[in-house]
Amino acid sequence: MAKRWDKHGQFYLIAALAIITLIIGFAILTNSLEKREFNKVNYLKEELEIEGEKVVDYGIYTGDTKIEYFTKNFSNYAGKDVNIYYIVGDTTDMQAYTHNESGKIAIPFTNIENKTVNVTVDDREYKFKITPGINFYFIIFKKANEEKYIATNKVM
């Protein structure tokens, strides 16, 4: 009869160890999960690349450019917590600007021999190559919780 009781004891010991392992596993999993803010900068980058290309194409085909209207609306769509800097134009007329509640604000840039445009945002310089035709570049900048999220297109 001693053997029979020993087997029940082993069963309860193994069951107790399995339950303790599950409880510790859930506690570790719960402590390691953290809430992260959704980073919409990459989403905005993809959307702006697609929509910006369509607006530029529309301007090429019709001669009626809607880029400034588009950039204002897109900046409003992105929200107040996101800054978008636009670099738009051709080899003879480049503009760099952003939009806020006050309207369109020009930002300083350097145009080097009509081949490169340099724009500085948050103490970082971005270089864009000027190609024949209409150029449409952007820098999306968001600061959240001591982190900086930056996305751009076609940087040299």
**What integer pLDDT is reported at residue 32 of this predicted model?**
55
Same domain, 15 and 59: no
Query: How much of the chain, in percent, has pLDDT values that exceed 70?
Result: 87
Specify whether the CB–CB gap between 107 and 126 falls below 8 A. Answer: no
| Residue range 47-80, pLDDT digits in tens | 999 998 898 888 888 877 788 889 999 999 998 8
Same domain, 81 and 16: no
Same domain, 87 and 109: yes
Specify whether the CB–CB gap between 140 and 147 falls below 8 A. Answer: no
**What integer pLDDT is reported at residue 65 of this predicted model?**
77
**What integer pLDDT is reported at residue 138 of this predicted model?**
93
Same domain, 87 and 143: yes
Q: Domain count for the chain, please give it.
A: 2
Task: Walk along the chain (156 residues) in steps of 10 and give the mean pLDDT of each run.
Answer: 59 85 77 60 90 88 84 91 90 87 85 84 89 90 86 78
